[in-house]
A and B are shown apart, each in its own frame.
Chain A
Amino acid sequence: MTEETKATKTKAGLSRRTLLKTGAAATGAVIGSGLITGFPTIWAQNPITLRQFGTGVSNINAIAEKCKADLGITLEMTATDSDAAAQRAVTQPDSYDVADIEYWILKKVFPAGVIQPMDIKKLKYYDKIVPLFKTGKLTPDSVIAQGTAPHTVGFVEAPGEKTFAKGETQYFTMVPTIYNADTLGIRPDLVGREISSWADIMDPAFKGKTSILNIPSIGIMDAAMICEAMGIIKYADKGNMTTAEIDTTIDFLIKAKQDGQFRAFWKSFDESVNLMASGEVVIQSMWSPAVAAVRSKGIACKYQPLKEGYRSWGGGLGLASHLTGAQLDAAYEYINWYTSGWVGGYLNRQGYYSAAMDTAKEFMSADEWGYWIEGKPAAGDIMSPEGKVMEKAGAVRDGGSFTERMGKVACWNSVMDEDRYMVRRWNEFIAA
């Protein structure tokens, strides 16, 4: 049904485009559908509302409030989980103006034509965006990580293209907003030994006290890190496994599950916090704010750096294809505001990383910058953006500085060519 509606829309859009050829050429970036509701070039709609949905920054109300105060743009934010976000991006393209999605979701949804690329000439802070998102290298001599690295889905040759460009072009699919390097969380008081490798989660000593996350596209990457660390398999590309590699990985997981290695599988952030805080598990896949949440309960929890490196993820803001005229201008203005520093500082202080580090620095104190980004011991107490004490003076961030953490990314969250097969096998693992 969705497909039908979409087909008619696109057709209507095309015929209108032929009719208003000059107008369409002028707007340039406009592709696909979108209802023209008046005179698009005049700021007729005032106040402007942008509907944003997604997984990452859409969870943060403070950003919407600040945006309203600074720009007068009302952000209506809806937070969902990754699966639902992917689903909504494709099936209800008219229900949002700005998509806040991860890069692997973008890889899935972009070919459906629901996101329009941005002209970098209109992005004020494009030059400030860290090179990781342009070339895949944080520093000139970094190794490009496996998986759906953001730069591989970051550009298209021209508006309307359904395939991604090989290198940097004028058309940027998403402006990166928030990213981080994930690893295993541990309870240092309960593991009773040094944890240094992804393989440690399979240690028989932790039988029935481990957990991995049950979101197939992310869980499979953690599993891949574990399998490779244990020497079971060497992947050509963890982010794009062959069916044979998927079989080996899942068979290994099924065996571990049947041997009782796992206590539970978690799907949501708070499940992972509860598992760790209650002591049901002592080592598990975890996200950085979940570690902070466990620690805020006064329970020791460490985001353990591991020698094989991190599994990284990143999200960004994409513009819906239907945006035109004033709405589109407002969306660009929002994104430029977004990268101008205040939000970056906010995200950095939450333990994520912002894409435009230089602008964010201006909005952070020297001590905050030192603790979060440079990996230095905190001089004073480190506060969360909400004003709660996160770390006491003297604390050092797990994993160290920005370059140390993001420089050791082994793979990115990804979507594979054999995605459907992987999901089917993953379901077998959960049912086994």
Chain B
Amino acid sequence: MDKAKVLSEEQLIEGLCNDNEAVMSKIYKMYYPMVEHFIITNGGLQEEAKDIYQEAFIVLYENLQTPDFTLTCKIKTYLYSICRRLWLKRFSYKTKYQGELKDSEDYVLLDESNQEQQQETELMFAMMQEALDKLGEPCKTIIQDYYINQMNMVQIADKMGYTNADNAKNQKYKCLMRLKKIAENMSIPT
């Protein structure tokens, strides 16, 4: 391997924090085989290995984005530990198997407190996204830009071609009310 391309652990973490796609790709490709091996030796399929690994990767990424999070072990160990926990959960669900997993790597115990909650909010978001998709243009863009992309009304008015920020604001209000209505109708059956 070329010397210039060998990155230290710190550089890898920094790259992940800063959305450096090249670094992310590198990390992804570096540790996938380890996880695939783990999943397959513990009764899983390649496809499941991919799912579990990607979920773990997202957890790692999101945790690194939160300011009060510090990684106390190597990226490799952390990814392996998350995958291990996820697989334990899915595997025991799949087969009611309570036995031991065959480990090939060291792992650390993880804080599981917010796991259940995360799944719930994930559902919530999916619903909200669906409502937003149903909203239609230009409302969708306005709502997206204001609430999600955090643009201000002046920028939005400029982008969408409103004469001033107040007009855009009125439009945004109407859109928000419509979105609320859609979301309410969607949440009734659940």
Please say whether chains A and B are actual partners in one complex: no
